[in-house]
Amino acid sequence: MSDMPAEHFRRSGHEVIDWITDYLTDIRELPVLPRVNPGDVRSALPSSAPEKGEPLDAILRDFREIIVPANTHWNHPRFHAYFSVSASGPGILAESLTAALNVNHMVWKSSPAGSELELVTMDWLRQWLQLPDTYFGAIFDTASISTMHALIAARDFVDPESRARGSLGNLVVYTSQHAHSSVEKGAMAIGIGQDNVRKIAVDDAFRMRPQALREEMVADLAVGKKPCCVVPTVGTTSTTSIDPVAEVVKIANEYGAWIHIDGAYGACAAILPELRSMLDGVEHAHSLVVNPHKWFFTPIDCSVLYTNRPDILRRALSLVPEYLRTGQDDSVVNLMDYGVPLGRRFRSLKLWFVMRYFGLEGFQGILRDHIAWAKELGQQIAAHSKMELAAPHPLSLVCFRMEGPDERSRELMDRVNAGGVAFLSHTVLNGRFAIRLAIGNVRTTREDIQRVWECIQAEACEL
Amino acid sequence: MSDMPAEHFRRSGHEVIDWITDYLTDIRELPVLPRVNPGDVRSALPSSAPEKGEPLDAILRDFREIIVPANTHWNHPRFHAYFSVSASGPGILAESLTAALNVNHMVWKSSPAGSELELVTMDWLRQWLQLPDTYFGAIFDTASISTMHALIAARDFVDPESRARGSLGNLVVYTSQHAHSSVEKGAMAIGIGQDNVRKIAVDDAFRMRPQALREEMVADLAVGKKPCCVVPTVGTTSTTSIDPVAEVVKIANEYGAWIHIDGAYGACAAILPELRSMLDGVEHAHSLVVNPHKWFFTPIDCSVLYTNRPDILRRALSLVPEYLRTGQDDSVVNLMDYGVPLGRRFRSLKLWFVMRYFGLEGFQGILRDHIAWAKELGQQIAAHSKMELAAPHPLSLVCFRMEGPDERSRELMDRVNAGGVAFLSHTVLNGRFAIRLAIGNVRTTREDIQRVWECIQAEACEL
């Protein structure tokens, strides 16, 4: 047995492309959330893999008939849960090419193109975000893994012996009560410990309170703990609140901590001159994560970690076994030196396709639309007699609730989701339930948002 | 601006599929290693991203003219460096669909299909490997990340308070002198520390010596250190030596350590009944990593971590913020509970395509061919007057050298690589240089191997 014959691959490939074209064209006809119960997919599939190979047509048929109907359609323009992300056409095509090349650019030699295109796209994106040219970028799968690497660098920064000796349980990480769970999980993973993560109090717009940060740091120092890393967020998950980065950076630097900015979603908007000030202070920070797979129309997964101390990240993690030494080690960047994963997918290819296809102006236009539609929706909600905004909406996420008991808001959300028109998610703010509606898909239109708003109003009437 | 118009996507998609078909058909005409110098790609590209969007045709042209010629062709049938991996046709098509769906199945609700297909394919593969049904699998990007997770679970296993309190620098990880660097790097990353990794001596076939393992464990206990994890390897990177798993497992269990089997490459061959004994003892171990992207024709990246103590992995890492709670949390598996990355690409789709397309018999036939060709090549090398085998070849990797000074072997390798016919890599065994020739690509034929062997002999004559 061998791989698929060429002409068979070509024919099946065209079929796959046609299916994708139609799927994306007609996607609005699908319910965003599938109507399935736990175990439905599992029970529709054989309990063992086949002994003998099967024709690709049979596999594609099961894909269409079993997988697709049980899928939550992340690429649907009315997927407004979590953060609304999307895979644009150029990104999808680039992923096909990435799979065909099957590159692993752990070292320069193992793919000069993969290694250098990653550096080039990281530099391009750095310029769009107006980060100082001291910032070096590398791509990981998720923001959780990028942030974990920032914490590893932070640990090495404040305790250079930790690489050899191990962690000692005396380091502290500071972030806000509204930070993403990945900060806490990263601290658990690398041996800092969950008890050594301080969740700093927030103000009434859910932003970290700098004075509270200072107080916690002073208290830790008084009992012999050492500030290791401070993680302000630009665009928190619950509400997209924006921590006062410049003030936080100033305090953190006084105490010698590494500063990592979590901009996984929000920092994408720093390409808009009118919003760039939210990153003020980054020039005195140490690292930043931003996810092109969140708001830059790049297929999952693509998370970028920038750091202006790549020397520290490398000091913490570089390890070169004999079988990976090459003749160019002194004159090239071997990306494996900057991370835990040795293998590296050619993720920069899709980012390169997407950045070029849309260009800076294209990105800016789409993001401005999303933010404007969120603002418009916010005004409509604020003006509605039975609803209220639950938080400010500085970017493209709107948090709101029904007036009255929380159960009504939860029921409203469940009804909208069950109807299939949209998928909304929730959070809890100051102990109260809030519905989240995130806008971010490249194919979402103002009409989509207004259709969802009509659906919300109609369901609210029924309650 | 919006996404690509549908008919434009369809047309470009067909073009991309045609390109991939031709690329894979004619790939033998390309030099495996590109003839480029550091900086060539970078200098061929603009120093900034475009302000205005560009047509996809221009991007595809640059892909063909700048990226492809500067690429090391991992999918080439005569790529024999590192481990020879390949993306088969069904896997490539599945990756296109994965990109189009853009799924993130962090929780069941966020993609029932993505969540359940991962469980189904993990169970299918578990059966092929004849692992006990207590083994639970989850997919990560790379073996480095899978092994890091095994080490995190191991830490929680021997020190349950470490999640909250952090690491203490008193735990020890044991692996062999021939283990992959990811074991050491994982220990550095999670705060165990490089000094707390013991590299156990090997026998003359480069296999971990169980008695030496016991001695190191006893010595550590005597000075108050605590054995945390023992990592035997099934198919080491340098030579594919196979540690005596059953004996190692027995000793490690006596001292209460977690046992993680690194079978990233080698465990793939456990689907062959005649080789399954190399995993004997796994029923008393705790975790195992195997990479379908290594020897199962699945595009990069796809690494599987199996553990029969998913409760421990979950205890170490589960963290559920309010915005990720769902109504089904008590009745489903939410895969985010078992790892550091929150986001999860739909990687099981390609594995499902590939397992079904080839079937168990297809996989077994191809792997047996690779192993037979390695054996044949080994005999030819052993019979050659100027060459010698540098290690046993239990699987599909052959290590050899020229007789005489190491420089001759290095020059032989460099000449073969410069010629473009094949890409070989190297290692150092007992202080001596050795050339590695790995076989593993789905499109490699016996004729490819013989052509490389002729090329090696011709270059050796010139030396």
Q: Omega before A329 cis (within 30°)?
A: no
Looking at residue A328, what is its pLDDT?
87
Name the residue facing B4 among A89, A111, A238 (closest C-beta): A89
- The encoded tokens of residue B192 equal 């165990």
Q: Give the full edge-to-edge strand order of the sheet including B226-231.
A: B136-140, B303-307, B287-290, B258-262, B226-231, B171-176, B197-200
Name the residue facing A99 among B87, B143, B324 (closest C-beta): B87
CB pairs under 8 A between A and B: 528
Looking at residue A463, what is its pLDDT?
87
| Reported ipTM | 0.97
Contact B100 A82 (CB under 8 A): no
Taking residue A368's Cβ as centre, other Cβ atoms within 10 Å add up to 15
CATH number, residue B416: 3.90.1150.10
Contact A192 B190 (CB under 8 A): no
pLDDT, tens only, A46-95: 999 999 999 999 999 999 999 999 999 999 999 999 999 999 999 999 99
Q: Are B288 and B413 members of one domain?
A: no
Is the distance from CB of A13 to CB of B93 less than 8 angstroms?
yes
Q: Are A172 and A154 members of one domain?
A: yes
Looking at residue A330, what is its pLDDT?
87
E strands, B119-188, in order: 136-140, 171-176
Helix axes B181-189, B143-158, angle to 10 degrees: 50
Contact B362 A21 (CB under 8 A): no
d(CA B322, CA B330): 15
- The encoded tokens of residue B204 equal 């003359």
Question: Which chain A positions have a beta carbon within 8 Å of B351's beta carbon?
Answer: none
Contact A324 B181 (CB under 8 A): yes
The pLDDT-based confidence of A45 (bands split at 50, 70, 90) is very high
Question: Which chain A positions have a beta carbon within 8 Å of B300's beta carbon?
Answer: 102-104, 343, 345
Q: Are A297 and A274 members of one domain?
A: yes
Question: Which chain B positions have a beta carbon within 8 Å of A33's beta carbon?
Answer: 109
Whether the predicted pLDDT of A1 surpasses 80: no
Question: Which chain A positions have a beta carbon within 8 Å of B8's beta carbon?
Answer: 89
Is the distance from CB of A453 to CB of A82 less than 8 angstroms?
no
List B10's β-bridge partners, or say none.
none
CA distance B305 to chain A (A): 14
d(CA B440, CA B427): 18
Q: Are B156 and B137 members of one domain?
A: yes
Tell me, yes or no, whether A127 lies in a domain.
yes
Q: Scanning every residue of chain A, which has its alpha carbon at the shortest distance from the alpha carbon of B72?
A: A111
Is the distance from CB of A441 to CB of A76 less than 8 angstroms?
yes
Name the residue facing B356 among A54, A86, A95 (closest C-beta): A54
Question: Which chain B positions have a beta carbon within 8 Å of A120's beta carbon?
Answer: 41-42, 45
Q: Are B260 and B325 members of one domain?
A: yes
Question: Which chain A positions have a beta carbon within 8 Å of B365's beta carbon?
Answer: 1
Q: Omega before B301 cis (within 30°)?
A: yes
Tell me, yes or no, whether B63 lies in a domain.
no
Domain stop point among B344, B364, B379: B344
Question: Which chain B positions have a beta carbon within 8 Å of A19's beta carbon?
Answer: 97
Tell me, yes or no, whether A285 lies in a domain.
yes
Is the distance from CB of B386 to CB of B428 less than 8 angstroms?
no
Helix axes B406-419, B446-462, angle to 10 degrees: 130
B307-318 burial string, b = 16+ CB within 10 Å, else e? bbbbebbbebbe
Q: Tokens 């470009």 sit at which residue?
A: B12
Question: Which chain B positions have a beta carbon within 8 Å of A13's beta carbon?
Answer: 17, 20-21, 93, 96
Looking at residue B305, what is its pLDDT?
98
Structural domain harbouring A364: 354-462
Tell me, yes or no, whether B132 lies in a domain.
yes
Question: Which chain A positions have a beta carbon within 8 Å of B143's beta carbon?
Answer: 342-343
Q: Are B335 and B359 members of one domain?
A: no
In chain B, how long is the greatest CA-to-CA distance? 71
Contact B116 A191 (CB under 8 A): no
List A305's β-bridge partners, or say none.
A138, A289
Q: Please give the distance of CA A166 from its chain centroid, rounded to a whole number.
A: 29
Name the residue facing B51 among A86, A155, A359 (closest C-beta): A359
List B436's β-bridge partners, or say none.
B399, B425
CA distance B379 to chain A (A): 24
Tell me, yes or no, whether B23 lies in a domain.
no
Residues 6+ apart with CB under 8 A from B8: A89, B56
d(CA A28, CA B454): 58
Domain stop point among B309, B344, B379: B344
Q: Which among B164, B317, B196 is positioned nearest to A192, based on CA atoms? A: B164
Contact A53 B97 (CB under 8 A): no
- The encoded tokens of residue A343 equal 């293998």
CATH number, residue A220: 3.40.640.10
Residues 6+ apart with CB under 8 A from A39: B116
Q: Which among B337, B292, B332 is positioned nearest to B310, based on CA atoms? A: B337
Structurally, chain A folds into a number of domains equal to 2
Q: Which among B362, B344, B363, B361 is positioned nearest to B116, based on CA atoms? A: B344
Alpha helices in A110-165 (DSSP H): 112-128, 143-158, 162-165
Name the residue facing A167 among B143, B166, B366 (closest C-beta): B166
E strand or H helix that includes residue B436: strand B432-438
Contact A59 B14 (CB under 8 A): no
C-alpha dihedral sign at A106, A107, A110, A111: positive
Q: Tokens 């062959």 sit at which residue?
A: B272
Q: Are A397 and A322 members of one domain?
A: no
Question: Which chain A positions have a beta carbon within 8 Å of B38's beta carbon?
Answer: 108, 112, 328, 331-332
Look at strands B432-438 and B258-262 and give their pairing: unpaired
Q: Are B318 and B338 members of one domain?
A: yes
Name the residue facing B114 among A10, A71, A350 (closest C-beta): A71
CA distance B354 to chain A (A): 9
Reduced DSSP (H G I as helix, E B as strand, rest coil) percent helix, strand, coil of chain B, to 5: 50, 15, 35
Name the residue facing B14 among A17, A190, A320 (closest C-beta): A17
pLDDT, tens only, A250-285: 999 999 999 999 999 999 999 999 999 999 999 999
Tell me, yes or no, whether A319 lies in a domain.
yes
Look at strands A258-262 and A287-290 and give their pairing: parallel
Residues 6+ apart with CB under 8 A from A459: A412, A415, A416, A419
CA distance B338 to chain A (A): 11
DSSP sequence for B399-419: EEEESS-HHHHHHHHHHHHHH
Tell me, yes or no, whether B445 lies in a domain.
yes
Contact B87 A73 (CB under 8 A): no
Q: Scanning every residue of chain A, which has its alpha carbon at the shortest distance from the alpha carbon of B297?
A: A3
Taking residue B327's Cβ as centre, other Cβ atoms within 10 Å add up to 10
Question: Which chain B positions have a beta carbon within 8 Å of A366's beta carbon?
Answer: 1-2
Top residue of B188, B318, B415 to mutate, by most chain A CBs within 10 Å, is B188
d(CA A264, CA A15): 35
Q: Would the pTM count as exceeding 0.90?
A: yes
Is the distance from CB of B208 to CB of B176 less than 8 angstroms?
yes
Q: Which among A330, A439, A419 is positioned nearest to A374, based on CA atoms? A: A439
Q: Are B124 and B199 members of one domain?
A: yes
User: CA dist B413 to A330, A378, B449, Å?
Assistant: 20, 65, 15
Question: Which chain A positions have a beta carbon within 8 Å of B116's beta carbon?
Answer: 39-42, 70
pLDDT, tens only, A128-173: 999 999 999 999 999 999 999 999 999 999 999 999 999 998 999 9
Tell me, yes or no, whether A79 lies in a domain.
no
Question: Which chain B positions have a beta carbon within 8 Å of A192's beta carbon?
Answer: 166, 191
Name the residue facing A95 among B71, B99, B104 (closest C-beta): B99
List A135's β-bridge partners, or say none.
none
Look at strands B171-176 and B226-231 and give their pairing: parallel
User: CA dist B48 to A179, B44, B69, Å?
Assistant: 32, 12, 22
Contact A38 B300 (CB under 8 A): no
Contact A340 B186 (CB under 8 A): yes
Looking at residue A323, what is its pLDDT?
87
Q: Are B116 and B210 members of one domain?
A: yes
d(CA B160, CA B154): 9
Name the residue facing B238 among A17, A124, A323 (closest C-beta): A323
- B138: three-class secondary structure by DSSP: strand
Q: Please give the distance of CA B70 from its chain centroid, rounded to a whole number.
A: 23
CA distance B376 to chain A (A): 20
Is the distance from CB of A141 to CB of B341 less than 8 angstroms?
yes
CA distance B205 to chain A (A): 18
Is the distance from CB of A345 to CB of B91 less than 8 angstroms?
no
Q: Are A301 and A423 members of one domain?
A: no
Look at strands A171-176 and A432-438 and give their pairing: unpaired
Rounded (10°) CA dihedral B50, B52, B53, B55 = -90
Looking at residue B114, what is its pLDDT?
98
Is the distance from CB of A189 to CB of B317 less than 8 angstroms?
yes
Per-residue pLDDT of chain B (463 residues; tens, 9 = 90+): 789 999 999 999 999 999 999 999 999 999 999 999 999 999 999 999 999 999 999 999 999 999 999 999 999 999 999 999 999 999 999 999 999 999 999 999 999 999 999 999 999 999 999 999 999 999 999 999 999 999 999 999 999 999 999 999 899 999 999 999 999 999 999 999 999 999 999 999 999 999 999 999 999 999 999 999 999 999 999 999 999 999 999 999 999 999 999 999 999 999 999 999 999 999 999 999 999 999 999 999 999 999 999 999 999 999 998 889 988 888 999 999 999 999 999 999 999 999 999 999 999 999 999 999 999 999 999 999 999 999 999 999 999 999 999 999 999 999 999 999 999 999 999 999 999 999 999 999 999 999 999 999 999 999 8
The pLDDT-based confidence of A2 (bands split at 50, 70, 90) is confident
Is the distance from CB of A390 to CB of A399 less than 8 angstroms?
yes
DSSP sequence for A426-457: EEEETTEEEEEEE---TT--HHHHHHHHHHHH
Domain stop point among B300, B316, B344: B344
Rounded (10°) CA dihedral A400, B344, A304, A232 = 40
Q: Which among A362, A404, A364 is positioned nearest to A387, based on CA atoms? A: A404
Name the residue facing B331 among A19, A38, A110 (closest C-beta): A38
Q: Are A304 and A423 members of one domain?
A: no
Residues 6+ apart with CB under 8 A from B146: B140, B264, B289, B303, B304, B305
Q: Scanning every residue of chain B, which has its alpha carbon at the shortest distance from the alpha carbon of A445?
A: B2
Is the distance from CB of A243 to CB of A179 less than 8 angstroms?
no
Question: Which chain A positions have a beta carbon within 8 Å of B343's beta carbon?
Answer: 141-144, 293, 300-301, 303
